[in-house]
Amino acid sequence: MSLFESTPLADDPKRPLAERMRPDRLEDYVGQEHILGAGKPLRRQIERDELSSIILWGPPGVGKTTLARLIAKQTKADFVPFSAVLAGIKEIKAVMADAERARRMGRRTVLFVDEIHRFNKAQQDAFLPYVERGDIILIGATTENPSFEVVSALLSRAKVYALRALSVDEIVKLLERALEALQLAAPRDLLEQIAIYSNGDARAAYNIVELASAVAREGMLDRDAIESVIERKMLLYDKGGEEHFNIVSALHKSIRSSDADAALYWLARMLQGGEDRMYIARRLVRMAIEDIGLADPRALEQAMAAQQAVHFLGIPEGDQALAQVAIYLAIAPKSDAAYRALGAAMDAVAKKTAEPVPMQLRNAPTRHMKAWGYGEGYQHAHQFEDAINTMECLPDSLRGTIFYEPTERGVEARIKARLEEIRARKKAVNEPE
């Protein structure tokens, strides 16, 4: 319908594999179940042919263009792909004139604008009257946050749908279809490695398979073929399987063993394998608590700061924060005293009778409760020298029990000295000679 129309044949072997593998039916679309699953708003709009202008926001290779094409086909509208990289105001007006004529003839136009964030304000404003009159159904695609990159007037007339990076299983499903079309076979674990390497980008995964197919032998896509394409070793790293847990364990034990170099190596294995960065951050926070504890209280602060940096910066900049905290944790003094102390307290709770709270620790908010002995014997710490009282705070059956036994390492050495002083002063009063 215009010089921007582009509908190449699906079976043209010269087209890129990613183009050839675009599905013709919405039922064959993979991913984005959060907006396209049964009963979801966008799915219902498409099925009822009640679509309005929308913005598809998501990372590269997650199916924005494919979804736009399927919407146009499902709604029996003319599909006009339009690139913000190649077009300006003149081209916009030409396409709008075509769309207006089509509307008068009873045909609808779905105008798909790829990388809509690349249009300036004037170019985006040029769509407004045509969207308002219903000459076009605008579907914009962007990898950038529409709140910052799409003019508010256009944004108010379009529903924004956020698309997610594809999961490993979803990309594997797409690659299995591609191999069938190429008449090739490959082991599933290799497809999973390609999926992890592509980091949620189906187009990147297709490109790897397509290039590797040229060097595949005897109809089999093997690890050598894939490694020759990506020019790096395919690491064995299954994010949900045994090797995943083996490498996580290696990272944890390297940090516990104060081996910074080994910690960096295993961290690099996880990063190269495509591990979820927030998962790594959570594991490092756990290590700061479990293996360092009060020997260096700043370890937890550093780990939480790294988690925030990863969340704020993303990939690859946030990876450096993970490396920094891994080194910090590895060289920090180690103590699991607090970890063991909680375990001992939990064990005491599980094995002993749950005794009532001692009267001296109870509040007495009413006159009757005070008469019954609530709060009797309570010692307010700030009324004593150095804010140390001699009041017993454990139930009678646990009187004198010690759960926390600090080490002599790092800050915990000072904590131990202070704790010994406190315990000695309490004991001298409670157990006079």
Q: Kindly report the CATH number assigned to the domain that includes residue 179.
A: 1.10.8
Give the tokens for residue 314: 């993303």
Among 111, 136, 162, the domain boundary falls at 162
Give the tokens for residue 233: 């070793």
Clarify whether residues 180 and 224 are in a common domain. yes
* Residue 344 domain-assigned (yes or no): no
| Average pLDDT estimate for 110-125 | 83
Clarify whether residues 210 and 272 are in a common domain. no
Burial of 129 (0-12, 13-18, 19+ CB in 10 A): exposed
Sign, CA dihedral 171-172-177-178, equals positive
5 falls in which pLDDT band (50, 70, 90)?
very low
- Angle subtended by helix axes 223-230 and 188-198, to nearest 10: 20
* Residue 409 domain-assigned (yes or no): yes
Three-class secondary structure of residue 431 per DSSP: coil
Contact 53, 138 (CB under 8 A): yes
| Average pLDDT estimate for 364-392 | 86
| pLDDT number for residue 85 | 63
Whether the per-residue pLDDT at 139 is higher than 80: the answer is: yes
Whether the per-residue pLDDT at 121 is higher than 60: the answer is: yes
Which residue, 79, 63, 90, is CA-closest to 113?
79
Clarify whether residues 306 and 200 are in a common domain. no
| pLDDT number for residue 293 | 93
Whether the per-residue pLDDT at 222 is higher than 50: the answer is: yes
Whether the per-residue pLDDT at 274 is higher than 90: the answer is: no
2-6, 39-43, 210-214, 344-348: least confident range: 2-6
Clarify whether residues 183 and 153 are in a common domain. no
| pLDDT number for residue 243 | 63
Whether the per-residue pLDDT at 325 is higher than 90: the answer is: yes
| pLDDT number for residue 111 | 83
41 falls in which pLDDT band (50, 70, 90)?
confident
| pLDDT number for residue 301 | 95
Biggest distance spanned by C-alpha atoms of the chain:
106
* Residue 360 domain-assigned (yes or no): yes
Burial of 251 (0-12, 13-18, 19+ CB in 10 A): buried
Clarify whether residues 189 and 217 are in a common domain. yes
Counted domains in the chain = 4
Which residue, 121, 120, 127, 118, is CA-closest to 93?
127
- pTM recorded for the entire structure: 0.54
* Residue 424 domain-assigned (yes or no): yes
Q: What angle do CA 174, 175, 177 make, to 5 degrees?
A: 70
| pLDDT number for residue 6 | 42
User: Position of tokens 């004198």?
Assistant: 400
Clarify whether residues 101 and 180 are in a common domain. no
Residues 6+ apart with CB under 8 A from 14: none
* Residue 345 domain-assigned (yes or no): no
Which phi and psi (to 5°) does residue 54 adopt? -140, 160
Residues 6+ apart with CB under 8 A from 31: 62, 63, 163, 164, 166, 167, 170, 202
Whether the per-residue pLDDT at 393 is higher than 80: the answer is: yes
Whether the per-residue pLDDT at 400 is higher than 70: the answer is: yes
| pLDDT number for residue 431 | 61
- Rounded CA Rg of the chain: 32
Clarify whether residues 246 and 272 are in a common domain. yes
| pLDDT number for residue 377 | 86
Whether the per-residue pLDDT at 177 is higher than 60: the answer is: yes
Clarify whether residues 30 and 124 are in a common domain. yes
| Average pLDDT estimate for 350-373 | 85
Clarify whether residues 26 and 156 are in a common domain. yes
pLDDT tens profile 178-202: 998 888 888 888 888 888 778 788 9
Other beta carbons within 10 Å of 290: 15
**Quick one: CA torsion of 205, 206, 210, 212, rounded to 10 degrees?**
10
Domain extent for 212: 168-230
Average pLDDT, the chain: 83
pLDDT tens profile 227-263: 777 765 444 455 555 567 788 899 999 999 999 999 9
Could you give the CA distance from residue 237 to residue 58 in angstroms, rounded to a whole number?
A: 26
| Average pLDDT estimate for 152-162 | 87
Percent of the chain with pLDDT over 70: 91
Could you give the CA distance from residue 200 to residue 62 in angstroms, rounded to a whole number?
A: 7
| pLDDT number for residue 9 | 43
Among 331, 347, 369, the domain boundary falls at 331
Which CATH number fits the domain that encloses residue 371?
1.10.3710
Check residue 218 and give left, alpha or beta (phi > 0: left; psi -120 to 50: alpha).
Answer: left
Percent of the chain with pLDDT over 90: 22
String of DSSP letters for 242-296: HHHHHHHHHHHHHHHTT-HHHHHHHHHHHHHTT--HHHHHHHHHHHIIIIIGGGS
DSSP β-bridge partners for residue 80 = 111
Could you give the CA distance from residue 325 to residue 284 in angstroms, rounded to a whole number?
A: 8
Whether the per-residue pLDDT at 174 is higher than 90: the answer is: yes
pLDDT tens profile 279-315: 899 999 999 999 999 999 999 999 999 999 998 888 8
265 falls in which pLDDT band (50, 70, 90)?
very high
| Average pLDDT estimate for 350-361 | 84
* Residue 337 domain-assigned (yes or no): no
What end-to-end distance do the CA atoms of the chain give, in Å? 102
